[in-house]
Amino acid sequence: MANDADLNATDTGFNTDTDTTTKPSLQQALESVLNNAKFPDANTVVSGSLTPEMVAKLAEAGIEHVINLQPEAELSFDEKAAVEAQGMSYTHLPIVDADDLKQLNLLEFDKVLRAHHGKKTLLHCDSGNKVGACMALRAGWLRGRKMDTAMQRGKDHGLEDLEQEVYMRLLVPR
């Protein structure tokens, strides 16, 4: 009679512990590479500023689109050229500070997210805070989510320093 060890070691054709055909998740591939990395869902990564070396790692990990919310003054290299050279698409929607958290800018942000829905996307700013602010405001203003849901969505995407500002803006009906 076969024991449990014999049954587990045979009849499957492969050992799932050593199966190398499975690609690592975005979190596994990028967590140690990016600054302030957040992984709110399987296809979305949020981070702080990028470097050219990070851009190459994004492509290796399977990122298809990069959305940059940093203003030009915060950029240290031609990010658009670097991203596109790696075969990814790129959108630049600069958000300088809280004054840029306006519904018009959020409508453009929403349009870009909808256009790339289902694609592996990296969203970034200097720290991830403005990405989180935009996600919270999008959830509240454009998706009609309740305050606590919208704020949690923002926090999942990096909202920290702008939390009070976003909360106050969500109090105003749009």
Cα separation values, 99 from 2, 55, 105, 124, 166, Å: 70, 29, 10, 18, 11
Residue 40 contacts residue 122 (beta carbons within 8 Å)? no
Question: What's the pTM value of the predicted model, to 2 decimals?
Answer: 0.85
Helix or strand holding residue 159 (H, E)? none
> 119: which 2 tokens?
């694609």
To which H or E segment does residue 44 belong?
Answer: strand 44-47
The pLDDT score that the predictor gives to residue 12 is 37
Amino acid at 120: K
Distance CA 91, CA 57 (A): 18
Identify the structural domains of the chain with CATH numbers, from first to last: 23-171 (3.90.190.10)
Angle subtended at Cα 51 by Cα 160 and Cα 33, rounded to the nearest 5 degrees: 70
Task: Supply 11's token pair.
Answer: 């009849």
Q: What is the pLDDT of residues 85-144, one digit of tens each?
A: 999 999 999 999 999 999 999 999 999 999 999 999 999 999 999 999 999 999 999 999
Structure token digits, residue 81: 């050229």
